[in-house]
């Protein structure tokens, strides 16, 4: 089935006032993002801001030893490339596609232009950036204090919030690299969740059966981040106007 693509599937774009959205919409380019694709390397110059619609991108940090960990994820609620408007142009982390799908991208120059108008777009992007900081902060604390199983639950829930279906397409190996733990640790934790009837998985597919169960076993970090996102990024008015136009 062919689902029609629209930039408004990205909540950040959808939250822009009509005038701002109209200025940008002509230059938004739909791109498919393949699993594992690298949007930018540490220190590399970003050429586009990327607004995911159905894809999920992981902001990932790789240590000299090769060990790594996700510091935040970006789905249809956000944008990849905040360094473009924050002024640093690049970051020490990389951006990797964690769930294949689509995104709209906007040339760097146009994003900066819009940002420099110092209007609603600037304020929206900055609020999103603060939400992203919250997510990173929570990741830091979670890495320190919570168990692998708790973190797996949190991560599944956050991923679930970013996709339409209840099935994630990914191997335990991939999840392990996101959380920065061993693959065996995920096998064990996922096994527990499966035996408890919360999820079911087979070779690269994870189906969530009882979401509430995951919420129970998750650490508080999931809720904390979710609440802060909704506090910072609820912009009912802008969204409704845009949806009216789209309809």
Q: Is position 190 an interface residue for DNA (rule: CB under 7 A)?
A: yes
Q: What is the CA angle 101-201-153, rounded to 5?
A: 80
Size of the site for DNA (CB under 7 A): 21
**Beta carbon nearer to DNA, 88 or 166:** 166
How far is Cα 79 from Cα 100, in angstroms, rounded to an integer?
Answer: 16
Residue 243 burial (CB < 10 Å; 0-12/13-18/19+)?
Answer: exposed
Only one of the segments 15-23, 80-88, 146-154, 236-244 lies at the binding site for DNA (rule: CB under 7 A); that segment is 146-154
How far is Cα 227 from Cα 105, in angstroms, rounded to an integer?
Answer: 27
Which one among 18, 164, 191, 197 touches DNA, defined by CB under 7 A? 191
Contact (Cβ atoms closer than 8 angstroms) between residue 169 and residue 99 = yes
Q: Is position 200 an interface residue for DNA (rule: CB under 7 A)?
A: no
CB of 52: closest distance to a second copy in angstroms? 19
CB of 135: closest distance to a second copy in angstroms? 10
Q: Is position 147 an interface residue for DNA (rule: CB under 7 A)?
A: yes
* List of residues contacting a second copy (CB under 8 A): 59, 61, 63-65, 67-69, 71, 82-83, 85-88, 91-93, 116, 118, 122-123, 126-127, 129-134, 136-141, 143-145, 180, 220, 224, 228, 231-232
Q: Is position 207 an interface residue for DNA (rule: CB under 7 A)?
A: no
Q: Is position 202 an interface residue for DNA (rule: CB under 7 A)?
A: yes
- Given DNA, a second copy, none, residue 173, with its beta carbon under 5 to 8 Å by kind, binds DNA
Q: Which tokens in the block code for residue 35? A: 């699993």
CB of 176: closest distance to DNA in angstroms? 8
Q: Is position 204 an interface residue for DNA (rule: CB under 7 A)?
A: yes
Q: Is position 220 an interface residue for DNA (rule: CB under 7 A)?
A: no
How far is Cα 138 from Cα 140, in angstroms, rounded to an integer?
Answer: 5
- Given a second copy, DNA, none, residue 201, with its beta carbon under 5 to 8 Å by kind, binds DNA
Q: Is position 239 an interface residue for DNA (rule: CB under 7 A)?
A: no
CB of 64: closest distance to a second copy in angstroms? 5
**Beta carbon nearer to DNA, 19 or 38:** 38
The footprint of DNA (CB under 7 A) covers: 147-149, 171-173, 180-185, 187-188, 190-191, 194, 201-204
């Amino acid at each position: 089935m062919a689902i029609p693509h629209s930039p408004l599937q990205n909540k950040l774009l959808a939250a822009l006032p009509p005038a701002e959205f109209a200025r940008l919409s002509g230059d938004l380019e739909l791109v498919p993002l393949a699993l594992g694709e690298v949007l930018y390397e540490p220190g590399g110059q970003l050429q586009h801001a990327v607004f995911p619609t159905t894809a999920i991108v992981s902001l990932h940090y790789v240590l000299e030893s090769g060990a790594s960990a996700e510091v935040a994820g970006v789905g249809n609620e956000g944008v990849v490339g905040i360094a473009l408007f924050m002024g640093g142009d690049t970051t020490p982390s990389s951006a990797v596609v964690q769930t294949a799908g689509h995104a709209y991208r906007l040339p760097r120059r146009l994003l900066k232009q819009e940002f420099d108008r110092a209007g609603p777009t600037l304020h929206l992007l900055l609020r999103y950036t603060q939400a992203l900081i919250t997510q990173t902060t929570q990741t830091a604390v979670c890495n320190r204090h919570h168990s692998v199983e708790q973190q797996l639950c949190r991560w599944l829930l956050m991923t679930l919030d970013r996709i339409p279906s209840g099935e994630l397409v990914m191997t335990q190996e991939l999840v392990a690299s996101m959380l920065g733990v061993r693959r065996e640790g995920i096998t064990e934790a996922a096994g527990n969740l499966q035996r408890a009837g919360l999820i079911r998985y087979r070779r690269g597919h994870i189906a969530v059966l009882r979401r509430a169960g995951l919420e129970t076993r998750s650490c508080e970090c999931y809720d904390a981040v979710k609440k802060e996102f909704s506090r910072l990024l609820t912009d009912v008015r802008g969204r409704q106007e845009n949806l009216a136009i789209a309809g």
